[in-house]
Structure 1
Amino acid sequence: MSDVMWGRGVEWLAAAATDPRVCKREWDQGNGIALLAAGRYWDVLSVPERLGLLTLDLLWQPSLPVPGPTLVDTAAHRVGFFLPPDPDSRWVGAGLRHAGRGSWVAVPPPYRPARSLEWLVPPDGTGALHAPGTLELALRQANGSLAVLPPPSGV
């Protein structure tokens, strides 16, 4: 990703902060993580890590647009998909968590990981997000695949 795209991604992401300057300072000089409000520019659908990684893999298809911003939390073993804000959203399923208006999401800057948080697909600054319908289909397909795959080793 070019420096221009990183810069646009930083500005786009920081716009969700109460004070974008403080947010950027926290990324650069603090602990590298900012708490950003969901529900204004984006919502986040958080899913169990194995389901999320398989879903993201299914979304990387030549016939589909490039996937939207996607974050992994390796400590919590979860993947977060950034979606358009939808106050009426009703994501239902085992292990699904929807963060919309009134929720806060911990995010690192688009240009580097921080602690256990890392961008699998960083925001590019264009405002591109996951299409809910496309994401739902990929989640259903991934969930069906998980039902027939052996559990990961060590589980």
Structure 2
Amino acid sequence: MTDLIWTRGVEWLAAAAPDPKECKRQWDHGDGIALLEAGRFWDVVSVPDQLGLLTLDLLWRPSLPIPGPTLVDTAAHRVGFLLPPDPGSRWIGAGLRHASKGSWVAVPPPYRSARYLEWLIPPDGTGSLHAPTTLELALRQANGTLSVLAPLCGQ
């Protein structure tokens, strides 16, 4: 069953590439990273890693659906959440980046990490993504928690 999930995840993610076969070749025989265009099948909201990891923790609640694909960049210290494309959305916040139509995102294959990129929650091929409203509420809650903890930690 896991092989089927990986295969579906690979096909779904590679479909965002201009040439899906070349994308899969880069994952398997290149440096393991492919550049994929955001805005067609998904957008990415990227936040500092501390905020992103706390947000992801808040999204793992029994009352919520399983969180969507989530990527971590350990070199840039950022966490990226894949969500439905929305050209009219305006994600605003300190340290927040929104990759949409015209933006390119470096991603490893769903089945392994590549250099500094790793899937915390890999795509499963179903097309499930983070719900924007749920993600926004979790980001706000995590940001509030971090702002309370910062003075206690001397930051």
Using the size of structure 1 for normalisation, the TM-score is 0.96
**1:149 counterpart SS class:** helix
Q: Match of 2:58?
A: 58
What's the Cα RMSD here? 1.5
1:2-151 mapped onto 2 (5 Å cutoff): 2-150=2-150
In structure 1, distance between residues paired with 2:27 and 2:118: 13
| Residue type of the alignment partner of 1:41 | F
Unaligned ranges ≥5, structure 2 = none
CA drift of 1:56 comes to 0.1
CA drift of 1:148 comes to 1.4
| Residue type of the alignment partner of 2:44 | V
CA drift of 1:39 comes to 0.2
Using the size of structure 2 for normalisation, the TM-score is 0.96
User: Any runs of at least 4 consecutive aligned residues in structure 1 with deviations exceeding 4 A, and if so which?
Assistant: none
| Residue type of the alignment partner of 2:74 | T
In structure 2, distance between residues paired with 1:80 and 1:54: 13
CA drift of 1:150 comes to 4.0
Aligned residues with identical type, % of pairs: 79
Aligned residue pairs: how many? Answer: 154
> Which has the larger displacement, 120-129 or 141-150?
141-150
Unaligned ranges ≥5, structure 1 = none
In structure 2, distance between residues paired with 1:71 and 1:79: 6
CA drift of 1:149 comes to 1.5
**2:5 counterpart SS class:** helix
